[in-house]
């Protein structure tokens, strides 16, 4: 059995693998964080727009639009994203519209994700009674 003398680069492959793996993991978590934030934003925009359409109907009101938005957010995500939903009327470019506003927390992956609140609004033209 022959024994070779140890070389200076023995064990360097393990260290390189660990260093590269950490970088790849950080990049992967960053991509997942952005994907989750965009997913939540997209669902919140859709729910706010649908709630505004309900609130703008001649036979409905802002409370109905807010309730519809909460229902959609709870079904698509969780109730935590439907806690801060407001509805009312406003004017955009001189036209009366129903407005639904959703303030939802940003989803966080791990402990280092961005905190904060995502705010989106949905608008729809008010129907004439």
What confidence score (pLDDT) does residue 1 get?
61
**Please, what's the b/e burial string for 49-64 (b: 16 or more CB within 10 A of its CB; e: otherwise)?**
bbbbbbbbeeebbbeb
Spatial distance between the Cα atoms of 68 and 115, rounded to a whole number of angstroms: 27
HSE value, Cβ hemisphere, 13 Å, CA-based, for 35 = 7
Secondary structure E strands in 5-127: 84-92, 95-105, 117-125
Average pLDDT, rounded, for the chain: 90
| Pair of tokens at residue 13 | 């492959």
pLDDT per residue as tens digits for the range 26-54:
899 888 888 888 999 999 999 999 999 99
Percent helix / strand / coil, the chain, rounded to 5: 50, 20, 30
With bands split at pLDDT 50, 70 and 90, how would you rate the model's confidence at 104? very high
Does the pLDDT value for residue 114 go beyond 80? no
Q: What is the pTM of this model?
A: 0.81
Q: Which residue has the higher pLDDT, 5 or 24?
A: 24
Concatenate the DSSP letters of all residues of 67-94 into one string.
HHHHHHHHHHS-GGGGSEEEEEEEEETT
pLDDT, position 116: 85
Query: How do beta strands 95-105 and 84-92 pair?
Result: antiparallel
């Amino acid at each position: 059995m022959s024994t070779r003398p140890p070389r200076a680069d023995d064990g360097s492959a393990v260290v390189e693998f660990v260093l590269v793996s950490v970088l790849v993991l950080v990049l992967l978590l960053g991509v997942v964080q952005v994907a989750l934030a965009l997913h939540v934003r997209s669902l919140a925009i859709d729910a706010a727009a649908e709630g505004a359409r309900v609130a703008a109907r001649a036979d409905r009101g802002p409370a109905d639009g807010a309730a519809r938005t909460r229902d959609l957010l709870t079904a698509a995500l969780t109730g935590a994203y439907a806690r801060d939903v407001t509805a009312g009327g406003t004017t955009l470019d001189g036209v009366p519209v129903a407005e639904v506003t959703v303030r939802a927390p940003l989803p966080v992956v791990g402990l280092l994700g961005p905190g904060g609140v995502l705010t989106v609004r949905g608008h729809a033209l008010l129907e004439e009674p």
